[in-house]
Structures are given as structure tokens and as C-alpha cells.
């Protein structure tokens, strides 16, 4: 066992708990069986979920036993959002998403040994329960006046849309989850984000009512917010997903590489498994030479390896270097190259035009005269090869994988041309 509470606090992962001293003692005396829930409201987890997934991993590495709950039942309801009702998905879709989320979470945990993880699904104890049983056995122990104080509920009640009974009842379902896991597995700790505090304590209250003398705890991690006030986990193209079909490994890597210097130290502590000494050294490098982006590169490599594997991470790094002239573009596989080029300005053409026209087409030059000037000054590159004559069209034999040209102006301005058949 390690003093995991101090570790979580140092990393900025301890927002609040029901009783810190009691929790600290329970974890020190451990092992403690704990759970964290994930609702299948989409086909993939996104990077915002990494805070919880990796905190579960930390607690398991400290000797505690995790229950990772993917909510086949709660996913059909949806935790209330501050602004509007959720769109409900059919049970078949939810079941498919449950399986996909399980497969994403499992690689982060260990399923062998004394503190082996267990995957659980709350549909197992809700599917056979009638509405009358739910209201009688669970609903009776909740007080509406207390339920109304939850932030997301209160905001919705003040809005024109109001809140449906369906979403209002979500905290009963999550409270029942904690009760069932306490009874089935001896689970005494629920972990979640601080925006879930009302749901976390609802489960504790329910256990205290139905299991007199039980000692259970809640631990909340802080919400991640960017220094500029925008939501963590969003890029210009939308949410950053863990599924490689929804966000390519290249785009995933680039998201972390582009983290604001004001945020990187906090993100490193929360998400990295590097030691304190390593993190403090990276923080020092960021202060002394921010342009090197040493911390961003370290976090990008660590998380891309964790989520997508070492081979994918190596391919992404090779692509990043090759695009800027530090490697051979021809050695990149088509999928990695296509993913990388989808992140830069690009144009689709049916036939290759002179380079000056292509530079204007992709936005690397404002006009043909500007493009000619770039070529004359030695700043125009096709597939990392400097071009001396801009009036000549690149040869079809130069196309990477028969379809791509990588254009570069100077050292850092990239674009791509994709040749597609006419019509």
C-alpha cells in the first residue's frame, strides 16, 4: 500500500470526500473495493473520461480492487445535462455501446491477482425490477426536497424546458448501483467527478438507510477546464475520442502536443504516470524553454501509447517528423499518412496543376505571384523536396500511395493535395 490520498492530492485529483480522515484510514488499512461508473451515451469514451479511467488505474496500482461499471441501465436514461433533455437511444444501440466501452476500459486495468478488477453492468440488477418494486424499495428512501438541490436539477427547473421525471430519477438509479455493489462485492467507495457529487452522496444516503452501521465513502476528482475557459477534451473538430475510428491516433497525439503551456503542468500531474521527479523536471523545462514543448511531447507520447499502443504511437511520431522534413514520407503507411494529412489544409483535385497553382489552391500562397516569390526564395517543397520551378506540374509518380502530395512553405506551413478521379 502507498499513501494514495497524498498522491492524489499532489496530482490535483482530490476535490472532496465525505470524510477525508476516515477515507485515508480505510485506504491505508485496505485493500478497499471501490467503483467508478461510465455511461454509454456514445459509441466511445472521450479524453475527458481519462481522468476517471486513469484514477481507477492509480487506485488499483495502490493495492485496491476496482469495479468498473458500464451502465447498460443508466445509459438508457442519461444523467441530467444543465441545458436540455438527452436524446434517448434504443436498447440495442446501448448494448453495443456497453460492449465497446468495456473493451476500451479493460486494457487500463489488471484482471488477475488479489486485487483483480471486475467489469459490471447495472442492467443486471435493474432489468428484472418492476416500476412498483423500484418505487417501493428504492424511491421510498429518497427525499424530493434534497434531490431538488442538485445543481443540474436546480438549473433545469429554472429553465423554460424544465426537467423530465426520467432524468430527475437518474440519481435514484445511481444510488441503487452503490447499494447493489456494496451488497454483492463489499464495495465501500464510489469515485467520480465533482459534477457527480449529488449522485455520489445519494448512494451513501441510501446505503445508510438500508444497511445500518455500514461505513462507505465518496471521492470526487475536480473537473478539468482549460485555462482559456473552454471545455477540456474539445478540439477544433469536436470531441477527442479514444476510438481510433472516431479520432485518429495522429489527431489524438496532436491534441496533447498542442496543449496550452498554462495547462500542461496540471494535465501532466493528473494524467501521467511519471514520477514526481520526472514531472517536476518537465515543468522546469516548460518554464525555461516553452518553445521546445518537452512536457507536451512527453504527455502526448505517454497517453497515445496507453490508449493506442506503442506501435501506433511510433507511427504517429514518425509521421509528425516526416511531414516537417525530418523523415521519409514514402515510409509512412497509407492510413497514418491519410490521418496526418486530414489535420492540415488540403485540396482535392482531379489532375495535377503547376505548383504555383497548387500553392494557391491549398492556401499556402495568397496569389500566383506570391507563390512564384516563395519558389524563387527557395521556400517551396513537394514531399520534402525543394522545388526550383513553380511553373511545372508535379509528376504523377511523386504521388504518395498514388494519391497524396505534401506541400510545404518554409519550415512550418503545411498543406496537402489529394488527387481523386474526375467525376
| pLDDT for residue 1 | 41
Exposure class string for 328-355: b at 16+ Cβ within 10 A, else e: ebeebeeebbbbbbebeebeebeebeeb
Question: How far is the first Cα of the chain from the last one, in angstroms, to the nearest whole number?
Answer: 65
Question: Three cell numbers at 187?
Answer: 464495495
Ordered DSSP codes for 173-198: HHHHHHHHHHHHH---EEEEEGGGHH
Phi, psi of 79 (to 5 degrees): -65, 140
Q: What are phi and psi of 341, to 5 degrees?
A: -75, -20
Q: What pLDDT sits at residue 423?
A: 62
pLDDT tens for residues 112-139? 999 999 999 999 999 999 999 999 999 9
Distance of CA 263 to the CA centre of its chain: 16
Domains of the chain, each with CATH number or no CATH: 4-221 (3.40.50.620), 234-330 (1.10.240.10), 346-419 (3.10.290.10)
Look up residue 247 and give its DSSP letter. Answer: S
**pLDDT (tens digit, 9 = 90+) per residue, 248-288?**
999 999 999 999 999 999 999 999 999 999 999 999 999 99
Contact criterion met (CB below 8 Å) for 374 and 408: no
Predicted pLDDT of residue 236: 65
Residue 292 contacts residue 285 (beta carbons within 8 Å): yes
| Mean pLDDT of each 10-residue bin along the chain, 423 residues long | 84 95 93 96 94 97 97 86 78 95 97 96 95 94 87 82 86 95 98 91 95 95 86 77 94 93 95 96 94 95 97 93 87 89 89 93 94 94 93 92 93 91 72
pTM score of the predicted model: 0.89
Put residue 70 in one of left, alpha, beta given phi > 0 → left and psi -120 to 50 → alpha: beta
Strand partners, 67: 35, 118
Cell numbers at residue 298, please?
512527453
User: To the nearest whole percent, how much of the chain has pLDDT over 70?
Assistant: 98
401: left (phi over 0), alpha (psi -120 to 50) or beta: left
In degrees and rounded to multiples of 5, residue 137 shows phi and psi of -90, -30
Q: What distance in Å separates the CA atoms of residue 231 and residue 292, rounded to the nearest whole number?
A: 25
Residue position matching grid coordinates 489524438 = 252
Residue written as cell 495547462?
263
Amino acid at each position: 500500500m502507498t499513501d494514495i490520498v497524498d498522491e492524489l492530492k499532489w496530482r490535483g485529483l482530490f476535490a472532496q470526500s465525505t470524510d477525508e480522515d476516515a477515507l485515508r484510514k480505510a485506504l491505508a488499512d485496505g485493500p478497499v473495493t471501490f467503483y467508478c461508473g461510465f455511461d454509454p451515451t456514445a459509441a466511445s469514451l472521450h479524453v475527458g473520461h481519462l481522468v476517471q479511467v486513469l484514477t481507477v488505474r492509480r487506485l488499483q496500482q495502490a493495492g485496491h480492487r476496482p469495479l468498473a461499471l458500464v451502465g447498460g441501465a443508466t445509459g438508457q436514461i442519461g444523467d441530467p445535462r444543465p441545458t436540455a433533455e438527452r436524446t434517448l437511444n434504443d436498447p440495442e444501440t446501448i448494448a453495443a455501446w456497453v460492449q465497446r466501452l468495456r473493451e476500451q476500459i479493460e486494457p487500463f486495468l489488471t484482471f488477475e491477482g488479489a486485487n483483480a478488477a471486475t467489469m459490471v453492468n447495472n442492467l443486471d440488477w435493474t432489468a428484472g425490477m418492476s416500476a412498483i418494486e423500484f418505487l417501493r424499495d428504492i424511491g421510498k428512501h429518497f427525499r424530493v426536497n434534497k434531490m431538488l438541490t442538485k445543481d443540474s436539477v436546480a438549473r433545469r427547473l429554472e429553465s423554460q424546458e424544465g426537467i423530465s421525471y426520467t432524468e430527475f430519477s437518474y440519481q435514484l438509479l445511481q444510488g441503487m448501483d452503490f447499494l447493489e455493489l456494496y451488497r454483492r462485492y463489499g464495495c465501500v467507495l464510489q469515485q467520480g467527478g465533482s459534477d457527480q457529487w449529488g449522485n455520489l452522496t445519494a448512494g451513501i444516503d441510501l446505503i445508510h438507510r438500508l444497511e445500518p452501521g455500514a461505513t462507505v465513502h465518496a471521492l470526487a476528482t475536480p473537473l478539468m477546464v482549460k485555462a482559456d475557459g473552454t471545455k477540456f477534451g474539445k478540439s477544433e473538430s469536436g470531441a477527442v475520442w479514444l476510438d481510433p475510428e472516431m479520432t485518429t491516433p495522429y489527431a489524438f497525439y496532436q491534441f496533447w502536443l498542442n496543449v496550452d503551456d498554462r495547462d500542461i503542468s496540471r494535465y501532466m500531474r493528473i494524467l501521467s504516470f511519471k514520477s514526481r521527479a520526472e514531472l517536476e523536471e518537465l515543468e522546469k523545462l516548460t518554464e525555461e524553454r516553452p518553445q521546445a514543448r518537452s512536457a507536451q511531447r512527453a504527455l502526448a507520447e505517454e497517453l497515445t501509447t496507453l490508449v493506442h499502443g506503442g506501435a501506433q504511437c511510433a507511427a504517429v511520431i514518425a509521421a509528425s517528423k516526416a511531414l516537417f522534413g525530418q523523415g521519409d514520407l514514402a515510409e509512412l503507411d497509407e492510413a497514418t499518412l491519410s490521418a496526418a494529412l486530414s489535420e492540415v489544409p488540403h485540396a482535392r483535385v482531379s489532375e495535377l496543376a503547376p505548383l504555383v497553382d497548387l500553392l494557391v489552391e491549398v492556401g499556402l500562397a495568397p496569389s500566383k505571384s506570391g507563390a512564384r516569390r516563395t519558389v524563387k526564395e527557395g521556400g517551396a517543397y513537394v514531399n520534402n523536396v525543394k522545388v526550383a520551378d513553380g511553373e511545372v506540374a508535379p509528376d504523377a509518380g511523386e504521388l504518395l500511395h498514388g494519391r497524396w502530395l505534401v506541400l510545404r512553405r518554409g519550415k512550418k506551413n503545411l498543406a496537402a493535395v489529394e488527387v481523386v478521379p474526375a467525376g
